[in-house]
Structure 1
Amino acid sequence: MAPRDGYPSDLSDERWELIEPVLAAWRARRRRDALDIGRPPEHDLRQIMNAILYVDRTGVPWRYLPHDFAPWATVYGYFAKWQQEGVFEQLTGLLRRLLREAEGRDGEPSACVLDSQTIKTSANVRLADQGIDAGKRIIGRKRHLGCDTLGLLLTVLVTAASVSDTAAGVQLLFRIAAAHPRVTKAWVDAGYRTTVINHGAHLGIDVHPVQRDPGTKGFKVIPRRWTIERSIGWLMHHRRLARDYERHPHRSEAMVHLAMIDLMARRLTGEATPNWRGT
């Protein structure tokens, strides 16, 4: 493929150094397992990742990828494989550990924060995968997030908007307990009911609701919960997440992982994340 001018979403050399070992290991594993039989792969992994980040950052449909990237079907094929084989979760875990250590923290968290975001969906999302959030009066999906106390992603679950925070919170705690056994504390808002608290106790996690002062008017930073609210704001720097465009919920979860991978890699290398609204 001929050289091309870069896009603002492209990986810098420094960020690529962080990501490349995981993708190179994935390709080597597939070759070793004879999953890529025949001619050597013709597509550069860095350019494939740049194309995927371009979609996540700009929000364009896959078919609208600029022609100086690999064919859109090839790029989407890599995206789907990496989602199915847990590559994005692996990258999230690697970068989160590096960033926590750079902040002087232990690589593995001991506490987390849970929250959700209701988002409208596009026309290509099946009605069976949507729902109504009665409280916010939004038809669409919910992103249920579990983050550490720095606001870095631990897990994400995408459901219909009608799924309660309590029902999804039980699943989030189960995932977090399985992947992060050091976590013993979780902060949540008042939407998470006794079921979540009891399930957390069963897993060895103390679930503590943090409520807004009933007498407070206007904006007020809520202790502990502000970190995950900020994380949701970070995700909105990626235009693909301004609405849920993914046909399948697991692809939507992968887009959240991609946004966090981009954000953490930029923080590790000291690069800014420009806001798409001003570009």
Structure 2
Amino acid sequence: MANCLLLLGALDKTREPNRDGPINQGFKKTVAFLRFSQGRSTRTSFLILDAQSVKNTDTAENSGYDGGKKIKGIKRTLAVDNQGLPQGIHVTTGDVSDRDAASSLLMLHADQFDLVQRIMVDGGYTGDKFASLVGNSIGADVIIAKQSDLKHGHVTPQRWVIERSFGWLEKCRRLWKNCERKLHTSTMMITLAFLRFMLKRH
């Protein structure tokens, strides 16, 4: 299975990603099937959103410095449901702010987020501008995780879910750092890693 996924990834690496291509369609159908098998709607009404900055290797062409996390590389932004299943993936250079990266993700996937009513984020996404953009783009409300919990090192159950999703990616050695030359290739490798994990686990 892993070899098949790597082959599919190699086929898609040579061009910009096609959101209607076989890998993305298979990815979406797998997520929908897993949600349905758990007795839930195939599309979520609740998202948890966060970003992870990752160092580049020498092979990467796209890079930016995340001043807050002191990391030069790329930024992976994820939107997951309350089970940690990925609903949206977006990769930018590290210098893009968390809010701007999240805004781009939501606009790119707006057509599949039309049922989303609430989005949970941490304190890095505060501000009326981001809340307004979320409301205007997908009609959802923004929920900020309790600062008191974050300040004392406690992670709310919902926030822990997305931390676990990032942890799933780190089980793939290729994703410990960003080895890909292009941002769209990084996105594809994350998609393949999640797809492999979901097929293997379920």
What is the TM-score of this pair, normalised by structure 1? 0.66
What residue number does 1:227 align with? 161
Instruction: Report the CA distance shift for 1:125/1:228 in structure 2 as closer, same or farther (over 3 A).
Output: same
Q: Among 124, 129, 132, which residue is 1:198 paired with?
A: 132
Secondary structure of the structure 1 residue equivalent to 2:154: coil
Matching residue within 54, 64, 87 for 1:119: 54
Question: Alignment partner of 1:119: what SS?
Answer: strand
SS at match of 2:191: helix
State the match for 1:100 in structure 2: 35
Kept in 1, the 8 Å contact 2:54–2:75? The answer is: yes
Q: Could you give the per-residue CA deviations for residues 104-149 of structure 1, whole angstroms, max 9, x where no partner exists?
A: 11111111111000000011212xx211111111111100111111
1:257 maps to: 191
Residues 188 and 224 (structure 1), Cα distance of their counterparts in 2 relative to 1, 3 Å cut = same
2:182 matched to which residue of 1? 248
Are 1:115 and 1:144, in contact at CA under 8 Å, matched by a contact in 2?
yes
Distance 2:64 2:191 in 1: 23
Question: Residue 148 of structure 2 aligns with which residue?
Answer: 213
Query: Which whole-Å CA distance do the structure 2 matches of 1:83 and 1:267 have between them?
Result: 29
Q: Is the 8 A contact 2:56 2:179 kept in 1?
A: yes
Deviation digits for residues 16-57 of structure 1, max 9, x if unmatched? xxxxxxxxxxxxxxxxxxxxxxxxxxxxxxx6x25448xxxx
Amino acid at match of 2:119: A
Query: For 2:142, what is the secondary structure of its paired residue?
Result: strand
Q: Name the amino acid aligned to 2:12.
A: F
The 8 Å contact of residues 17 and 188 in structure 2, kept in 1 or not, is answered as no
Distance 1:113 1:184 in 2: 11
Provide the aligned length of Structure 1 versus Structure 2: 198
Structure-1 separation of matches of 2:69 and 2:27: 30
Report runs of 4+ in structure 1 exceeding 6 Å deviation: none
Match of 1:162? Answer: 95
Given that residues 149 and 155 in structure 2 are in contact (C-alpha distance below 8 angstroms), is that contact kept between their aligned partners in structure 1? no
Q: Is the 8 A contact 2:99 2:125 kept in 1?
A: yes
One-letter amino acid of the structure 2 residue matched with residue 248 of structure 1 = K
Amino acid at match of 2:147: R
| Structure (1/2) with the larger strand percentage | 2
Report the counterpart of residue 79 of structure 2 in structure 1: 146
Partner in structure 2 of residue 65 of structure 1? none
> Unaligned stretches of 5+ in structure 1?
1-9, 12-46, 54-74, 269-279
Q: Tell me the residue number matched to 1:70.
A: none
Assess if the C-alpha contact under 8 Å between 2:5 and 2:192 holds in 1: no
**Equivalent residue, structure 2, for 1:174:** 107
Amino acid at match of 1:99: L
8 A contact 1:120–1:140 mirrored in 2 = yes
CA distance in 2, matches of 1:152, 1:83: 24
In the superposition, relative to structure 1, how do residues 122 and 110 fare at CA in structure 2: closer, same or farther (>3 Å)? same
Letter in 2 for 1:151: G
Identity of aligned residues (%): 32
Q: Which residue of 220, 236, 239 maps to 2:170?
A: 236
CA contact (8 A) 1:177 1:183 kept: no
Q: Which residue of the partner structure matches residue 137 of structure 1?
A: 70
Higher RCO (CA-CA < 8 Å; seq separation 6+): 2
